Structure 1
Amino acid sequence: MNRTELRFALRLIPFLDSVEDIEDGLVKLRDRRWLVWHPDVMAALFRQDRVLRHPPSRTLSALLGDRSVLWLDGAEHAAYRRTLAPVLRGNRYQALIEEMVERSIAELPSGDPVGLAAWSRKLTLRIIGRIVFGVDDDELLTAFTRWLDCRLGSRVRTLAHRCLTPGATRSDPELDRRLLHRARTAEPPSLAACLPPEDLRDQVVSLLFAGHETTASATAWTVFWIDRTPGLAERLVDDGDLLDATIMESLRLSPPATLAGNRMSEDGMVITPSIYLAHRRAATYPHPHVFDPARTSPPPGAFFPFGGGVRHCPGKDLALTEIRMIVTALLRHRRIRLSIPNPRSPQLRGAAMAPPPSLAMVATCRR
């Protein structure tokens, strides 16, 4: 591993910040591997996505399994997407999301600080847990969270599991057994019933992880930017268009995933799209570090918080529905104030970018 790739692996955000002014929008990480973010390159890459291979993430493949839908290609991947896309539409779950959101807001201690990222992560995991299993099982989801945090809770843990104990990061057999039992016995049949039994473990874990981690981060970042923008919260409650614009601008400036997976050509060239850098390109976005919900629509290839090409997230609509409903309910039922006792860089969980654990939310009842 050369110096550039080592910086990319060990200090991802500082490395990305150090190269964001490169106008060509590409950096060579090592021989036959490139990091890219120029919108023209991204648009062309996504148009050719069907003929490219999609190598698994070294960090996540050991957690999610070799048969995760995130790594499948060709007909297998297309078949899974045909199964998942209609089931993950947000309008199917509005009543469920409302129920879960109201419960989680009611549980917020009035006036006491709560970790914003941890709160949003617990809520979105409850939602996808109900969708996947058909029932509530907070005890099982808590065990899943402990397992995930042990491997992704800090950059040091992530790199240690990736580099020092390769292949040893899958969940323990007991947790696997409990996940599979819950998936197979749900009544009425849930999303898990749509999945092939031979791949069930890997797909269930992938859905639980992908179905809550980035949605939680996107929700927390949206609350963060609303708090940082004076007067915005009061305007959002009854202005759906402004809320949508605020969410999109938060996804631009603080995308919950920094990278959009790997692509590999027939000759072995690996290309890694950078969502983080594409969204902060000064030639595309004037004053790119300024939060501005009034921005005009970007050109093709310049905005892809949910990935692009054939690998764009099939749960995008569900995620946006959750973010809208959570933020709206918070603003209507609570006065929110954020505090950061120990300001730090964003927390990386794999390639996902969450607010730091020190970002605390104080919620008080509206009178």
Structure 2
Amino acid sequence: MNRTELRFTLRLIPFLDSVESFEDGLVRLRDRRWLVWHPDVMAALFRNDRALRHPPSRTLSPLLGNRSVLWLDGAEHTAYRRTLAPMLRGARYQALIEEMVDRSIAELPSGPTSVSAWTRKLTLRIIGRVVFGVDDDELLTAFTRWLDRRLGSRVRTLAHRYLTPGTTRFDPRLDAMLLHRAHSAEPPALAAYLPRDDLRDQVVSLLFAGHETTASAAAWTLYWISRTPGLTGELDDDLLDATIRESLRLSPPAALAGNRMSDEGMVITPSIYLAHRRAATYENPHVFDPARTPPPPGAFFPFGGGVRHCPGKDLALLEIRLIVRALLRHRHVRLSSPTSTPQLRGAAMAPPPSLAMVATCRH
């Protein structure tokens, strides 16, 4: 591993900040591996995505499994997405999400609460209901502990990745609980349609991808609202959507999109973080401005792009919208220890645990 790739691996956000001004929008990390973010390159990459391979993440594949839909390819990938897509349609869950959001807001303590911890618990509850059809806090608490032991800090993530490479990070007891719940779900959305040997990987992938980035995006939106004059109180639909979109631009829930590999072995890593902060694309890119005009193709892809774009995008946007709207409607929200330094959980980019909110009842 050369010095450039070492900096990229060990100190991702500082490294991305250091190359942000590169006008050509690409950096060679090592021989035959490139980090890219130029909008023209990104648009072409996503147009030709079906012709590329999508190698597993060295950080996440030991957790999610090698059969995760996130790195299947070809007809197999297409078939899995067609199976999973109907259960991830956002509109069918609006009443459920509203009920769960209201309950979570009612449970907020009177003192400071970690924003990212609160949104993570809430969005995991929501995707748990989507996948299993029931609430199971014991299972979701066990899932959270398992995930935090592996991704709860950058040190843990890197230690798991490099000190014992090639080994899985599964928890047999947790897997048994997940499979039991999936088989007993009503309706049996996954167990009835997926091969038994793949079920564990798809359940874990849905729980992870279905809550981690959504939670980060909701927390970042609350952060930016708290820092922007004129965005206090209840927002109308257009302003709320514009605010969420600008938050996704400036603080995307993931810094990187999945790797792409050509038949010749060239690996391309798209950078969402850098594409969204490119000065040639966005005027004053570090300024939070919900009134921005829409960017050109390839310049805005907070949920990935091409054939790997997130199938739960609409569900995630609905959750973010309902969480933010309900919280601002029912509570006066004040953030303490305001900081924008992100915490990396794999490639996910969450606000740090120290970012706390105090949410008091409106009278």
The verdict on a shared fold, with TM-score over 0.5 as the criterion, is: yes
| Aligned residue number for residue 46 of structure 2 | 46
Moved more, 53-62 or 225-234: 225-234
| Aligned residue number for residue 263 of structure 1 | 260
Q: Aligned in 2, Cα 1:192/1:317: closer, same or farther, shift over 3 Å?
A: farther
Q: What is the alpha-carbon distance in structure 2 between the residues aligned to residue 345 and residue 332 of structure 1?
A: 27
| Aligned residue number for residue 22 of structure 1 | 22
1:345 aligns with 2:344: no
Please, what is the CA RMSD of the aligned residues?
Answer: 1.1
TM-score (ref. length: structure 2): 0.98
Q: What is the alpha-carbon distance in structure 2 between the residues aligned to residue 171 and residue 197 of structure 1?
A: 17
| Aligned residue number for residue 137 of structure 1 | 136
Give the C-alpha shift of residue 230 in structure 1.
Answer: 1.5
| Aligned residue number for residue 251 of structure 1 | 248
Q: Which deviations, in whole Å up to 9, do the C-alpha atoms of 1:68-111 show, x marking residues without a partner?
A: 0001000000001111222211101011101110110010012x
Moved more, 180-189 or 356-365: 180-189
The answer on whether the counterparts of 1:100 and 1:127 sit within 8 Å (CA) in structure 2 is yes
| Aligned residue number for residue 119 of structure 2 | 120
Q: What is the alpha-carbon distance in structure 2 between the residues aligned to residue 325 and residue 235 of structure 1?
A: 12
Counterparts of 1:1-367 in structure 2, within 5 Å, are 1-110=1-110, 112-234=111-233, 236=235, 239-340=236-337, 343=339, 345-367=341-363
Q: What is the alpha-carbon distance in structure 1 between the residues aligned to residue 168 and residue 278 of structure 2?
A: 35
Q: What is the alpha-carbon distance in structure 2 between the residues aligned to residue 200 and residue 243 of structure 1?
A: 37
Secondary structure of 1:232's partner? coil
Q: Structure 1 unaligned runs (5+)? A: none
- Work out the percentage of aligned pairs sharing the same amino acid: 84
Give the C-alpha shift of residue 193 in structure 1.
Answer: 3.7
Q: What is the alpha-carbon distance in structure 1 between the residues aligned to residue 190 and residue 131 of structure 2?
A: 5
Secondary structure of 1:200's partner? helix
Q: What is the alpha-carbon distance in structure 2 between the residues aligned to residue 280 and residue 54 of structure 1?
A: 25
The answer on whether the counterparts of 2:218 and 2:324 sit within 8 Å (CA) in structure 1 is yes
Moved more, 35-44 or 183-192: 183-192
TM-score (ref. length: structure 1): 0.97
Aligned residues: 363
The answer on whether the counterparts of 1:62 and 1:170 sit within 8 Å (CA) in structure 2 is yes
Q: What is the alpha-carbon distance in structure 2 between the residues aligned to residue 118 and residue 166 of structure 1?
A: 29
Give the C-alpha shift of residue 39 in structure 1.
Answer: 0.2
The answer on whether the counterparts of 2:233 and 2:329 sit within 8 Å (CA) in structure 1 is no
The answer on whether the counterparts of 1:183 and 1:193 sit within 8 Å (CA) in structure 2 is no
Q: What is the alpha-carbon distance in structure 2 between the residues aligned to residue 196 and residue 226 of structure 1?
A: 44
